[in-house]
């Protein structure tokens, strides 16, 4: 038998945020590369949206960066998106433009809006299951003067022996067991 050395493929960590916007229905789906170093290490982020003359911003938590996308319904056909990612005092940013087809029925009447949605995993991307480790701390030790007395033990019923099990299968003896003799000194059978 030959042994093959175990090789672990290193995970590729990308250096850019990879912000991009794709037209979807009447809106724009805003996504970023969840495997990039900036996203993996981020505490929070801010998405700045310039939609024609309107400007808005959307704050995202670290958890939302890890597993969400943003669906945005613009008021105009063209716009610009900028995502600033923060970790402590450090920040990095990426920007992209979006353009929708010129179809008046796709554009909503009134102000533009954005919502954060749970990201759908790609069927083509192999994902490894996430292992969650929780650390349990032992209960604090009480000083000797504050120790609690152990609870009183409750008497357990005696365990049934093999002979008792055998006797319980005989109908006459079973009936006698149900109705024990009134005198405790007499045998039960």
Q: Which of 38, 110, 43 is nearest to 74 (CA)?
A: 110
Length of the chain measured in residues: 189
The tens digit of pLDDT for each residue in 113-151 reads 877 877 766 565 556 666 666 667 777 776 665 555 666
pLDDT of residue 39: 86
CB count, 10 Å around CB of 74? 26
For residue 88, give both structure tokens.
């402590």
CA atoms within 13 A on the CB side of 58: 20
- Residue 32 pLDDT > 80, yes or no? yes
- Residue 59 pLDDT > 80, yes or no? yes
Residue with tokens 């938590």: 61
**Whole-number Å distance between alpha carbons of 37 and 13:** 6
State the first-to-last Cα distance of the chain, in angstroms, to the nearest integer.
Answer: 69
The pLDDT of 153-178, averaged and rounded, is 73
**Whole-number Å distance between alpha carbons of 107 and 27:** 8
C-alpha 17: how far from chain center: 23
Q: What is the pTM of this model?
A: 0.54
**Whole-number Å distance between alpha carbons of 128 and 124:** 13
Q: Which of 32, 40, 31 is nearest to 13 (CA)?
A: 40
For residue 179, name the pLDDT band (cuts at 50, 70, 90).
Answer: low
- Residue 58 pLDDT > 60, yes or no? yes
**Whole-number Å distance between alpha carbons of 45 and 86:** 6
**Whole-number Å distance between alpha carbons of 58 and 19:** 15
Q: Which residue has the higher pLDDT, 88 or 103?
A: 88
For residue 90, give both structure tokens.
């450090």
- Residue 49 pLDDT > 60, yes or no? yes
CATH code for the part of the protein at 20-118? 2.60.40.10
Residue 171 has φ and ψ, to the nearest 5°, of -60, -40
Q: Where are the alpha helices (DSSP H) in the chain?
A: 37-40, 62-67, 162-168, 171-178
Residue with tokens 């970790």: 87
């Amino acid at each position: 038998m030959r042994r093959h050395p175990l090789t672990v493929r290193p995970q590729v960590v990308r250096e850019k945020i990879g912000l991009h916007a794709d037209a979807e229905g009447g809106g724009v789906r805003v996504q970023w590369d969840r495997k990039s170093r900036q996203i993996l290490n981020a505490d929070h982020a801010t998405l700045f949206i310039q939609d024609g003359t309107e400007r808005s911003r959307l704050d995202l938590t670290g958890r939302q960066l890890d597993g969400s996308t943003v669906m945005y319904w613009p008021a105009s056909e063209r716009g610009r998106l900028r995502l600033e990612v923060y970790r402590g005092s450090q920040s990095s940013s990426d920007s992209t433009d979006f353009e929708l087809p010129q179809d008046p029925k796709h554009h909503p009447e009134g102000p533009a809006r954005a919502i954060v949605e749970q990201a759908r995993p790609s069927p083509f991307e192999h994902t490894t299951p996430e292992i969650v480790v929780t650390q349990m701390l032992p209960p604090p030790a009480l000083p000797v003067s504050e120790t609690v007395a152990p609870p009183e033990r409750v008497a357990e019923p005696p365990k049934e022996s093999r002979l008792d099990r055998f006797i319980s299968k005989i109908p006459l003896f079973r009936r006698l067991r149900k109705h024990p003799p009134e005198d405790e000194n007499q045998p039960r059978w």
